Homo-oligomer: A and B are copies of this chain.
Amino acid sequence: MDGGAETPKKERKTSWKKDPETVRADILGVATDEFAAHGLAGANINEIARRTSTSKRMIYYYFGDKEGLYCAVLEGVYASLRNAEDLLDFAGLDPVEALRQLVEATFEAHVTSPHFIRLVMIENIHNAAYLRKSEIVPKLNRSIIEKLTDVCERGKAMGLFRSGVDPLELHWLISSFSFYNVSNRATFSTSFGETLYTPAHQALLKARATDMVLAAAVIGHEPASWNTAGA
């Protein structure tokens, strides 16, 4: 019907591939950075779009709205942490050594998962409103508790662990310093200086915390690492 003299104002990109998976993953990666950096309210959809190789419309196409994107990000970081935890295997180790390794591994996993830490902080600011809606997250956390339960049972059966030792309490305790160490680094350093965050001092804190957990859980364990001054 057109007379042939039609001039489109701007040429659309005339060629592109259909590649939903890649586009989705691209958006999710950028969004994870953005939400971890600025929180739910602070994150900017236009900015996320700009940093992807796709357009803003695709974010809404795949994730619905800002909250949908945030939820996807949240599930993503929880899932990737599970993968790391599942690599641990203490089945063959004696309980004391297993507990030692579990504490050290947890401490280190937190240090190397800053996005996870920040998103959990952000989620706590929102009273876990979005985590509650997740169907997969509760499952993810079961794994670590199962490992701890196994270690505790074996430790008690062998007469090595105190009888009051409880897996969930132990997890609370181990998480607390592992998490806090990363989550509150900024305010802690601002108030008290950077001394605890040198590599040497971090190693020392890890050793002391581990030793302390063992002293609490294991009958007769002497927390020897507390006997000598650090760096």
Chain B residue numbers with a CB within 8 Å of A226 are: 162, 164-165, 216-217
| Stretch from A18-26, A64-72, A93-101, A172-180 forming part of the interface with B | A172-180
Q: Are A123 and B186 in contact (CB under 8 A)?
A: yes
Q: Are B181 and A196 in contact (CB under 8 A)?
A: no
Distance of A2 Cα from B145 Cα, bound (Å): 81
- The size of the chain A interface, using a CB distance under 8 A, is 66
Set B124, B186, B187: member contacting A187, Cβ < 8 A = B124
Q: Which A residues, 144 to 195, have Cβ-Cβ distances below 8 Å to chain B?
A: 145, 162-166, 168-169, 171-173, 175-177, 179-181, 183-192, 195
Chain B residue numbers with a CB within 8 Å of A145 are: 192
Set B120, B168, B185, B230: member contacting A196, Cβ < 8 A = B168
In the complex, A15 has a CB within 8 A of chain B:
no
Q: Which residue in chain B gives the minimum CB-CB distance to A204?
A: B169
Q: Are B39 and A191 in contact (CB under 8 A)?
A: no
In the complex, A51 has a CB within 8 A of chain B:
no
Chain B residue numbers with a CB within 8 Å of A175 are: 180, 184, 188
Q: How far is the CB of A115 from chain B (nearest CB, A)?
A: 12
In the complex, A45 has a CB within 8 A of chain B:
no
Set B121, B137, B173, B177: member contacting A121, Cβ < 8 A = B121
Distance of A179 Cα from B188 Cα, bound (Å): 12
Q: Are A196 and B208 in contact (CB under 8 A)?
A: no
Distance of A118 Cα from B216 Cα, bound (Å): 30
Chain B residue numbers with a CB within 8 Å of A83 are: none
Q: Are B183 and A124 in contact (CB under 8 A)?
A: yes
Q: Which residue in chain B gives the minimum CB-CB distance to A177?
A: B176
Q: Which residue in chain B gives the minimum CB-CB distance to A229?
A: B164
Q: Which A residues, 2 to 23, have Cβ-Cβ distances below 8 Å to chain B?
A: none
Q: A39-B125, A141-B192, A173-B177 are in contact. List 6 more A-B contacts (CB 8 A).
A: A38-B41, A39-B39, A124-B184, A128-B189, A164-B226, A176-B184
Across the A-B interface, give the 3 residue pairs with the lowest CB-CB distance, nearest first: A41-B42, A128-B186, A176-B180
The residues of A with any CB-CB pair to B shorter than 8 Å are: 38-42, 118, 120-128, 131-132, 137-138, 141, 145, 162-166, 168-169, 171-173, 175-177, 179-181, 183-192, 195-196, 204-205, 208-209, 211-213, 215-217, 223, 225-230
